[in-house]
Amino acid sequence: MFPSEIEPSMPEPDHCFANLRGVRWRVNLGVLPFQASSIDDLRKATAESRRRYASLRRRLLIDPHLSKDLRNSPDLSIDNPLSQNPDSTWGRFFRNAELEKTLDQDLSRLYPEHWRYFQAPGCQGMLRRILLLWCLKHPEYGYRQGMHELLAPLLYVLHVDVERLSEVRKHYEDHFTDKFDGLSFEERDVTYNFDFKKLLEGFADDEEVGGIHGSSKKIVSLDELDPEIKSIVMLSDAYGAEGELGIVLSDKFMEHDAYCMFDALMSGSNGCVSMAGFFAYSPASGSHTGLPPVLEACTAFYNLLSFVDSSLHSHLVELGVEPQYFGLRWLRVLFGREFLLQDLLVVWDEIFSADNTARRDEDNNSFMIFDSPRGALISGMAVAMILCLRSSLLATENAASCLQRLLNLPEKIDVRKVIEKAKSLQALALDEDVRASALSVNNVFDQSVSPAIPARTNSFPSGSTSPKSPLIITPQSYWEEKWRVLTAEEEKQSPSAPPPKKKASWFKVKRLFRAESEPAHSGKTESKGGLASVARNLLEDFNKQVVSEPEEVVAVNNEDSSVANRVDVVNNEDSEEANREEVVNNEDGSVQETDEANREDAVNNEDGAVEETEERNVDFASAGEESITAVEETSSDVFSDPNSPLRHSNSIENDSDSSTGSILFANEKVEDQETSAVDSPLPVSSQPSIEFPVVQSNDEENTTDLDKSVAVSKERNKPFPGKFQWFWKFGRNLTGEETRSNGVESSKSDLVSSSESHSSPQASSSSSKGESDQNMMNTLKNLGNSMLEHIQVMESVFQQERGQVQAGLVENISKANLVEKGQVTATTALKELRKISNLLLEM
């Protein structure tokens, strides 16, 4: 009963709620009825909720002195100040006092930047009473830190509404009085009698005394009627239904209203997202995961993240950043600590306006939080916030710094953008497929140690399953298949044909994500679509050259020059091409199996070389930067094991998903070339699929050094999508090439890298000899060809680059010396490469 939007059939409340956030929230949270036919309904509901609070307050706030008066024969052995009985009046009193002390500790530190309002004694008192009452009412939850931060904005919103009301009052004061005079006395009288009777009836039940009665008397004495049509005044009308108690905007009953809102928010109004659940330690009743709701929610939004941005997700998982580390804080206070109060209100506007009713079917096994639009939006928010930090998160190399970034969001974050993204993510979260696939995640989750196992990587078993049987769970292969179909469709160059609905949503997300990662550079990227087939032409410009390089390779190998114009399609297509290439090489089994097997073969072939280069890289790393070493070593371990399922899943992930990995990788390369960074040995070029986050982190450092925005580098790197797959396929070849390209600009490691590039092909060739089958020979020939091509490309690059340096590219000028130095060594490396390729061709 809490629809997400206000229907147009209710122009009156719609109008006022637009301006009055407090009222709108109350409606959205279910305190006020949504389908109120008149203002009177609102008033009645308001009065009712306030009465409930008043009676609760009377019942639960204990004053032992007053209670003594009421009782005739108190059992003194129980009811004395030193009583050990927790149920005695005094026992409860002391417990309340203790709770209040705890509350005060938190409340006194609440919103120090808004201390003028929140630290005022009146506000503190209200907050304390509300929290105290809520905790007493819900002893199963009790008070937990963070609840006060959920409550404070609610109270603040009410306060703002009331202030606005008084403003309006002041403004229209003369207007009001005029209208009062024009009214007939009889009309007023009738209304009064009616209302007041009702008011008394309402009070008859709970015998409210004190303030409310006093105010009701005031109504009689004042004897005037407010006829203002404006809803804001209607809501503040003291003389409508329920009298003063029914004033929707009331200074006096702010505490009552805030409590009702807080209660509704905490309980979730029977919806599936209840904030109170986020503070509980026991799993919710309907939970399938057997986790406390907040942990389940954390897992849910990580799951969502894995769908949207698997590379970032796997990076976080690799670092061991579990979602609850920051998710607890985010979710428990509904992002209250991440945004400034003004922004937070906007965020909450959206969250509250989302419907919270569960649309749960009994056999649904997804996360509970995905069951309602509100829950989905909350998880969408979380993912959107993570995505905001995407680049800086990928740059981190350990969990601590990662968490530090997650827990200290930059203040300049554009809330509206985040919300917009969250909304599209919400749509995705509500998508049945994601929900369905959550089931498998849950299963994996239950078995595994870490709760952060992503959906994408659930193809690798949590334990140690036989590598020969790559365990592919249905949803994963499902997505895989979907991508295959999708990319194939795109390749057919049928832009007019609308893609299936779900794919469309996927694309939306992807594009959204894209747009985020390279804002304001769309013009440049768009032009790159056409670069695919014509490699030579593109070498004229350095950027363009870098862009075209992989695509050219793909074209050479594949002879498939049809490349879609859409930028994000390019990625998919490239990956598809890579896949196809593999299929061509190994024509056995189903698509999936081929994919897997092919990879394994390729890995086997490359193994020796790769391992060697890996070791070298590790050496470099230990010599250079110590922090990365560990990661690298682990990755090299993984890498050297050809049967590691992890790799498969990763590669699949990269094939089918966004090309972020390759982006990063390319990014690294570009950065290296541009900046000739000191830590060039680090780029670990030979482990693209697994280690791209690390790579990214290196070049992120470079980026920060250069004061360059990440977006720029991203934009440049973006058109590298196919490179990744290409790396995979011709791992050895690429290893050589890539290391060379690193060495080109690096002042330190050039010799080593050249030797590396020299050694790796030999190793691989020897290993491939062992295989000695026709396919391999063909492949090797292809490799040689492509290598030659690359060498030519690189040479022209260097020429170009030199020219650019002289022309005065801003980034390059400062590093010109280093670049020059690097180029000398690069040329030697090129020679080596040429030798290798010749050797290969002979084979």
Partner 1 sequence: MVLVLALGDLHVPHRAADLPPKFKSMLVPGKIQHIICTGNLCIKEIHDYLKTICPDLHIVRGEFDEDARYPDTKTLTIGQFKLGLCHGHQVIPWGDLDSLAMLQRQLDVDILVTGHTHQFTAYKHEGGVVINPGSATGAYSSINQDVNPSFVLMDIDGLRVVVYVYELIDGEVKVDKIDFKKASTSTSAP
**Which residues in this chain contact partner 1 in the complex, by CB under 8 A?**
64-65, 68, 76-77, 80-82, 84, 94, 98
Q: Which two tokens stand for residue 498?
A: 């609308």
Residue with Cβ nearer partner 1 (80 or 448): 80
Cα–Cα distance, 693 to 628 (Å, whole number): 11
Residue with Cβ nearer partner 1 (70 or 76): 76
> Smallest distance, Å, CB 97 to partner 1?
9
> Smallest distance, Å, CB 131 to partner 1?
20
> Smallest distance, Å, CB 130 to partner 1?
22
Residue with Cβ nearer partner 1 (9 or 77): 77
Residue with Cβ nearer partner 1 (90 or 301): 90
- 570: phi then psi, degrees, rounded to nearest 5: -55, -45
Residue with Cβ nearer partner 1 (84 or 221): 84
Cα–Cα distance, 154 to 309 (Å, whole number): 34
DSSP state of 499: P
CB of 793 closer than 8 Å to CB of 553: no
CB of 831 closer than 8 Å to CB of 838: no
Cα–Cα distance, 463 to 192 (Å, whole number): 75
Q: Kindly report the CA angle at 16 between 238 and 19, in degrees rounded to 5?
A: 115
> Smallest distance, Å, CB 106 to partner 1?
19
Q: How far is CA 781 from CA 557, 582, 784, 790, 842, in A?
A: 10, 15, 5, 14, 9
> Smallest distance, Å, CB 94 to partner 1?
6
Residue with Cβ nearer partner 1 (125 or 803): 125
Cα–Cα distance, 320 to 451 (Å, whole number): 10
Residue with Cβ nearer partner 1 (84 or 184): 84
Cα–Cα distance, 407 to 391 (Å, whole number): 15
Cα–Cα distance, 324 to 297 (Å, whole number): 9
Residue with Cβ nearer partner 1 (57 or 95): 95
Residue with Cβ nearer partner 1 (65 or 170): 65
> Smallest distance, Å, CB 84 to partner 1?
7
Cα–Cα distance, 388 to 244 (Å, whole number): 47
> Smallest distance, Å, CB 86 to partner 1?
13
Burial (CB count <10 Å: 0-12, 13-18, 19+), residue 193:
exposed
| Length, in residues, of the chain | 843
> Smallest distance, Å, CB 104 to partner 1?
15
CB of 134 closer than 8 Å to CB of 266: yes
Residue with Cβ nearer partner 1 (77 or 772): 77
> Smallest distance, Å, CB 144 to partner 1?
22
Residue with Cβ nearer partner 1 (83 or 627): 83
> Smallest distance, Å, CB 67 to partner 1?
12
Q: Which two tokens stand for residue 478?
A: 């499902």
> Smallest distance, Å, CB 80 to partner 1?
5
Residue with Cβ nearer partner 1 (96 or 735): 96
Q: Which of 257, 391, 278 is nearest to 336 (CA)?
A: 278
**CA contacts within 13 A on the Cβ side of 430:** 19
> Smallest distance, Å, CB 76 to partner 1?
4
List of residues 6+ apart from 499 with CB closer than 8 A: 486, 489, 507
CB of 620 closer than 8 Å to CB of 752: yes
> Smallest distance, Å, CB 81 to partner 1?
5
Locus of tokens 């492949």: 779
Residue with Cβ nearer partner 1 (64 or 283): 64
Query: How many other C-beta atoms are found inside a 10 Å radius of the C-beta of residue 65?
Result: 9
Cα–Cα distance, 599 to 459 (Å, whole number): 15
Q: How far is CA 508 from CA 176, 325, 504, 522, 629, in A?
A: 52, 29, 6, 16, 38
Q: Which of 664, 685, 680, 801 is nearest to 751 (CA)?
A: 680
